[in-house]
Amino acid sequence: MSNQTFEKQVNQTLLLKDASLSKSASSFNERAHAALLDDKLQQALSVIPSGFVGKRTKAKAALPEFSELSDQAVRIKNHTLANIEAYLEQFEAAVQRSGGQLHFAPEPQDALDIIDEICTTKDAKLIAKGKTMVGEEIGLTHFLEDKGYETVETDLGEYLIQLRDEMPSHIIAPAVHLTRENIRKDFLKTHKNLAKDRKLETPGDFVQEARHILREKFINADIGITGANFLIAETGTSIIVTNEGNGDLCQSLPKTHIVIASLEKLVPTLEDTTVLLRLLARSATGQSISTYTTFATGPKREEDTSGPEEFHIVLLDNGRSKMLGSEFAEMLRCIRCGACLNHCPVYQNLGGHAYGTVYPGPMGSVLSPHYFGERAKDLPFASSFCGRCNEVCPMQIPLTKLMRKLREKPLTKRTLFAKTSMFAWSQLAKRPRLYNLTMKAVLPCLSIAAEQNWLMNKVPGVKAWQKHRTLPTIAKTSFQDAWNLNCKKDSSQENTRVKKEGQGK
C-alpha cells in the first residue's frame, strides 16, 4: 500500500473516531467549539491544572539538580541525533547480539506489515498491548483488529477508550476526559458475564473489575506488544515506564515480545537513560519516578525458566528522518512527558480530541503536521503563544518558535478573508499617519459599542469571539495618543520646574 492510501485509511478511521465527539467537525476550530460546549468534558478537564501542574512544580523543586539534568538531557539527545547513523548501527548489532531482531520500518505500513507477519507466523489469536504512542500513530490496534486478532489494550486508560472506540485525549492519561459515569456505562455494556447489579461506584471498584478482566487476557496472550520510552544503542535494550505494571505483564508472559518504537528514542548508554528518567516522571505526573521502569534486552536467556522466546523491535521512521535534516530537528528531542499539554491553556480548555490527532497540545501541534500532513495543517494555529510550554519542557524544545515556523509554511493555507485582512493591516501599519487617523476615528466608536453589547456583536467576528471569552473594555484613546499627551504634560512640568529652580538661584 502506498503511503497515500495509508494516510487515507488512517484519516478515515480517525474521522470515524472524531465522530464520537462531534458529528461533522473536521477542522480544529469546529472541534474546539464542540469541546467547549461539552459540559461533561469540561468537568473532566477541570482536574488537569490542579492535578498535574501542581504536582510537577513540587517534584521539580524537590530535585535541586533538575535544570542541570535538563541541560545534560538536551546534550544527550543532540549528540545522539547528530550521530544517529552510527547509533542506529550500534543498536542493531546490540539487539542481534542479545538474540533479538531489529526491523526497520520506513513507513507506517511497513511497521504494520512486519507486526502482522510476526503474528501470522506465530499463529497468534490474542494480543496484549501495552501503551504505545507510536502504535497509536500508525493505528496499530485497529489494524490488528481488522486482521482478525483479538487485540486488547492493557493500560487501563487505553482500555477505557478502546471500549468506546475513541482516540486517547492525553499522551500520559489517555482517558482523562472520561467521568465515572461514562466508564460505568461502558463496563456494564462490555463485561456481560458479571452480575448486573454489582457495585461500580468508587474508582477502586472500576480498577478491580478491569484487573480481573484483563488478567485473563495477559495469561492467554500469544503476543505482547509494548512501546518504548528509550532505546539503548550500546546494549540493544528497550525501556518502558508504567505505573500499573501492565507493560511488564505484556512483555514477560507471552512467548513473543514485540516492541514498536521510533528512531528518536535512541540514546547511547544505560547511564544516559538515568538522566532522562529523572526528568520524565517529574515532568509527566509529578512523581519522582514511575512505579515500574523496566529494561528489556533480548529474549529469555538459556538458563532462564521464564520470559519470551522471541524479541522483536520494530523501528519506525514516518517522517522523522525528514525532520532530522530540517529546522524542526529539535522536536526530535521530545520524550513525550506531556508537561507542555498540562500547562497549555488551550489544551486545558479543550482536551486532546479537539486536536484531531493522537499527539495533542503544543508538542502535537509541531509533530502532527509532520506525521499526518494535510489533516493536521491547522494545528500550529491552535496556540495562544503564551510560551508556558517552552518553560516547562524538560528537553528545552522551543515549541512556540517551531509552531511559528510551521505557520509560515505553505502547508498551512490561509483563507481569502485572512489574506485580505492581513494585507490591509500591513498597509495600514506601514503608514503611521494614516494609522493614527484611522485609530482616532475608530476607537471612540468601538469603545461606545463595547459598552452596548448588542452593538458590539454587530462588528464582524466579535460575536463568535465573545462566545467563550469576555471582551476587555476598549480605551477611548490609542496608546500612542495617551503617550504623547503624557509626554507633553511631563515636559511642560519639567519646564516649569527648571524655571523655578533658575529663579531660586
Partner 1 sequence: MTNITPQIKPKESRRSKFLKNVKEAKKKVTISKEQKLKLKQQKEAYQEFKYQPEEKTLEDKFAQFKEILTSQSAEIYECYENQINEKLEEILKEKPYGQDLLIGKNNKINSPKNSAINFIEVESFEKNKENYNLNCALTTAFAAASETGTLFLNSGCENPTWLNYLATCHIVLLDKNSLCQTYEEAFAKGKKEAGLSNKPFPPRSINMISGPSRTADIEQTLTLGAHGPIELIIIVYTSEREV
Are 375 and 11 in contact by the 8 Å Cβ rule? The answer is yes
Choose the contact partner of 338 out of partner 1, ligand SF4, none; CB within 5 to 8 A by kind: ligand SF4
Q: Which of 207, 442, 448, 485 binds partner 1 (CB under 8 A)?
A: 207
Q: How far is CA 497 from CA 460, 488, 489, 494, 505, in A?
A: 50, 14, 12, 5, 13
Residues forming contacts to ligand SF4 in the complex (CB under 6 A) are 283, 334-340, 363, 392-395, 397, 399
The answer to whether residue 457 forms part of the interface with partner 1 (CB under 8 A) is no
Q: Which of 85, 197, 408, 501 binds partner 1 (CB under 8 A)?
A: 85
The answer to whether residue 41 forms part of the interface with partner 1 (CB under 8 A) is no
Which cell numbers in the block locate residue 69? 539534568
User: Closest approach of Cβ 218 to partner 1, in Å?
Assistant: 8
Choose the contact partner of 101 out of ligand SF4, partner 1, none; CB within 5 to 8 A by kind: partner 1
Q: Which of residues 292-311 bind partner 1 (CB under 8 A)?
A: 292-307, 309-310
Q: Cβ atoms within 10 A of the Cβ of 199, count?
A: 10
Q: Which of 246, 365, 383, 390 binds partner 1 (CB under 8 A)?
A: 246
Closer to partner 1 by Cβ: residue 28 or 328:
328
Which cell numbers in the block locate residue 397? 524544545
In angstroms, how far is CA 167 from the centroid of its own chain? Answer: 12
User: Closest approach of Cβ 27 to partner 1, in Å?
Assistant: 30
Choose the contact partner of 334 out of partner 1, ligand SF4, none; CB within 5 to 8 A by kind: ligand SF4
Cα–Cα distance between 276 and 72 in angstroms, integer?
A: 9
Closer to ligand SF4 by Cβ: residue 41 or 340:
340
Choose the contact partner of 339 out of ligand SF4, partner 1, none; CB within 5 to 8 A by kind: ligand SF4
Maximum Cα–Cα distance across the chain = 105
The answer to whether residue 290 forms part of the interface with partner 1 (CB under 8 A) is yes
The answer to whether residue 136 forms part of the interface with partner 1 (CB under 8 A) is no
Opening angle at CA 177, ends 175 and 183, nearest 5:
65
H or E stretch covering 293: strand 292-297
Choose the contact partner of 263 out of ligand SF4, partner 1, none; CB within 5 to 8 A by kind: partner 1
Choose the contact partner of 208 out of ligand SF4, partner 1, none; CB within 5 to 8 A by kind: partner 1
Q: Is the dihedral of CA 226, 144, 102, 122 positive or negative?
A: positive
User: Closest approach of Cβ 405 to partner 1, in Å?
Assistant: 16
Are 13 and 166 in contact by the 8 Å Cβ rule? The answer is no
> Which range touches partner 1 (CB under 8 A), out of 21-29, 62-70, 384-392, 491-499?
62-70
Are 246 and 110 in contact by the 8 Å Cβ rule? The answer is no
Closer to ligand SF4 by Cβ: residue 296 or 395:
395
Choose the contact partner of 326 out of ligand SF4, partner 1, none; CB within 5 to 8 A by kind: partner 1
Closer to partner 1 by Cβ: residue 339 or 449:
339
Task: Compute the CA torsion angle 490, 491, 497, 501 (nearest 10 deg).
Answer: 150
**What residues contact residue 137 under an 8 Å CB cut-off, 6+ apart?**
108, 316, 318, 358, 359, 371
Q: Which of residues 254-273 bind partner 1 (CB under 8 A)?
A: 263, 270-271
> Which range touches partner 1 (CB under 8 A), out of 143-151, 282-290, 441-449, 452-460?
282-290
Give me the amino acid identity at 444.
P
Closer to partner 1 by Cβ: residue 200 or 459:
200
Are 298 and 237 in contact by the 8 Å Cβ rule? The answer is no
> Which range touches partner 1 (CB under 8 A), out of 313-321, 343-351, 387-395, 413-421?
313-321
Are 54 and 285 in contact by the 8 Å Cβ rule? The answer is no
Closer to partner 1 by Cβ: residue 281 or 382:
281
Choose the contact partner of 382 out of partner 1, ligand SF4, none; CB within 5 to 8 A by kind: none
The answer to whether residue 339 forms part of the interface with partner 1 (CB under 8 A) is no
Choose the contact partner of 285 out of partner 1, ligand SF4, none; CB within 5 to 8 A by kind: partner 1
Where are the strands (E) in 97-178, listed by range? 101-105, 126-129, 150-153
Where are the strands (E) in 177-232, listed by range? 223-226, 230-232
CA atoms within 13 A on the CB side of 120: 7
User: Closest approach of Cβ 379 to partner 1, in Å?
Assistant: 23
> Which range touches partner 1 (CB under 8 A), out of 22-30, 72-80, 188-196, 349-357?
72-80
Cα–Cα distance between 219 and 426 in angstroms, integer?
A: 65
User: Closest approach of Cβ 413 to partner 1, in Å?
Assistant: 25
393, 380, 287, 382: which is closest to 340 by C-alpha? 393
Which cell numbers in the block locate residue 195? 452480575
> Which range touches partner 1 (CB under 8 A), out of 30-38, 136-144, 207-215, 422-430?
207-215
User: Closest approach of Cβ 331 to ligand SF4, in Å?
Assistant: 7
Q: How far is CA 42 from CA 379, 382, 385, 422, in A?
A: 21, 18, 22, 33
Choose the contact partner of 343 out of ligand SF4, partner 1, none; CB within 5 to 8 A by kind: none
Q: Are strands 223-226 and 126-129 parallel, antiparallel or unpaired?
A: parallel
User: Closest approach of Cβ 171 to ligand SF4, in Å?
Assistant: 7
